[in-house]
Structure 1
Amino acid sequence: MTDLLNRIIAAHGGLDRWNQFSIVKGTIVTGGALWGMKGLHQDADPREMTVWLHQEKASVIPFGAPNQRTAFTPDRIAIETTDGGLVAERLDPRASFAGHGKTTAWDPLHRAYFNGYALWTYLTTPFLLTLPGVMVEELRPWSESGETWHRLRARFSPQIATHSAVQDFFFGDDLLMRRHDYCVDVSGGFAAAQRVYDYDEANGIRFPTRRRAFLRGTDDSVVDHPLLVSIDLSNVHFA
């Protein structure tokens, strides 16, 4: 790890503490314009999410019906009933996005896959930057909102399901995250910038509770309208 990444990890609770836990659970409320662009309805109902910390696996409940949940891994997405029944399944789910653009409609399995890898990415950041298959380099500092931010660029191996192979993470002088940039490969590869804020702490791990994703300009500026995705987290705990 770079010295900067070491200090960022320590500011978020440290690897020793992180490695004491295997899952994180919490309540998520999602909104934004992306869902309508994909032909989907997004309500403001709270849902429970579960993310596994040391394997790429995630689940959200309810999904589509009160007794249904998602089951995400990189090579499979499924919708299940709470008693284990299979509602729908797709193997090699990434391949199902071939040819998609920004407004290509998604079916429930597309949405479940996107939710799964996105939540796993967000809830394991910045610790996922220490994983095998992730290469990290420090870029020149970035100025925004009257601050100068540290900037790390991560390159992810194809075995890790996430937004795009190259992503940038921005951290303030307090070493907490301010912004997360990526391309949404499953939606035509458009450039996105996610503002990250309102940190909380649970079980000694620090994490942001608010994320707001927007389009990103060619100069890496944030395009403030429309708001593509909003994510609010609460009741987070590690176990």
Structure 2
Amino acid sequence: MENPRASFKGHTVETPWTRTQLIYFSSYATWNNATAPFNFLVPGIEINQFESWNENGEILDRLEVIYPDGFATHSKRQIFYFNQDGLLKRHDYWPEVLGGSSATQIIEEYQEFEGIKTGTKRNIYVLNDEDNSYNKDFVLVSINIKEVKFEK
């Protein structure tokens, strides 16, 4: 398939996917989850700082990231939340392949691998755009990372 993204045109959350669409989504989602915030250095990315956000008593710095056309990711516009130690704690996005529905990824249980800290527990929830909240009782996707290796 030459342009897998185009195959999602008109999709909603309920639209069934083909095997190729599932592979495409899983591939770009995994790559983006593993490389953010390092992928912010890709040429053409625009970064804007937002007001801080209080997440259950923890003050988080927010960055709006605008990805360039053709960059395979959930949505052109995404918001990333970092704690005072510079660790990514939350990631909001609007998956275009699901008709632009709202989602947030909560990143927890940081571990160090070869000198780099990464969250090993990642749960994705439906994001309420009206008040920026999410319901932890309904997990859309759960990712548990057991090991990370970096190649030079």
**Same topology, TM > 0.5:** yes
Cα deviation digits, residues 64-84 of structure 1 (max 9, x gap): xxxxxxxxxxxxxxxxxxxxx
Structure 2: which amino acid aligns with 1:156?
Y
Cα deviation digits, residues 25-74 of structure 1 (max 9, x gap): xxxxxxxxxxxxxxxxxxxxxxxxxxxxxxxxxxxxxxxxxxxxxxxxxx
What is the percentage of aligned positions where both structures have the same residue? 38
Does 1:193 pair with 2:124? no
CA shift at 1:201, angstroms?
A: 1.8
Q: What CA RMSD, in Å, does the superposition of the two structures yield over aligned residues? A: 1.0
Counterpart of 1:166?
Answer: 77
Does 1:228 pair with 2:129? no
Counterpart of 1:207?
Answer: 118
CA shift at 1:168, angstroms?
A: 0.4
**Which structure has the highest strand share of the two?**
1
Does 1:126 pair with 2:37? yes
Counterpart of 2:57?
Answer: 146
CA shift at 1:159, angstroms?
A: 2.1
Q: How does 1:20-35 map to 2 (within 5 A)?
A: none
Does 1:175 pair with 2:86? yes
**Greater RCO structure (CA 8 Å; 6+ sep):** 1
CA shift at 1:226, angstroms?
A: 2.0
Cα deviation digits, residues 8-28 of structure 1 (max 9, x gap): xxxxxxxxxxxxxxxxxxxxx
So what's the TM-score if we normalise by structure 1? 0.61
Structure 2: which amino acid aligns with 1:129?
F
Consecutive unaligned residues of structure 1, counting only runs of 5 or more, are 1-89
Structure 2: which amino acid aligns with 1:142?
W
**Equivalent-residue separation in structure 2 for 1:173 and 1:201 (angstroms):** 17
**Equivalent-residue separation in structure 2 for 1:234 and 1:224 (angstroms):** 22
**Equivalent-residue separation in structure 1 for 2:45 and 2:112 (angstroms):** 25
**Equivalent-residue separation in structure 2 for 1:123 and 1:169 (angstroms):** 14
Q: How does 1:67-146 map to 2 (within 5 A)?
A: 90-146=1-57
Moved over 4 A (4+): none
Aligned residue-pair number:
150
**Equivalent-residue separation in structure 1 for 2:99 and 2:70 (angstroms):** 20
SS at match of 1:227: coil
SS at match of 2:94: strand
Mark the structure with the bigger radius of gyration: 1
So what's the TM-score if we normalise by structure 2? 0.95
**Equivalent-residue separation in structure 1 for 2:118 and 2:144 (angstroms):** 12
Consecutive unaligned residues of structure 2, counting only runs of 5 or more, are none
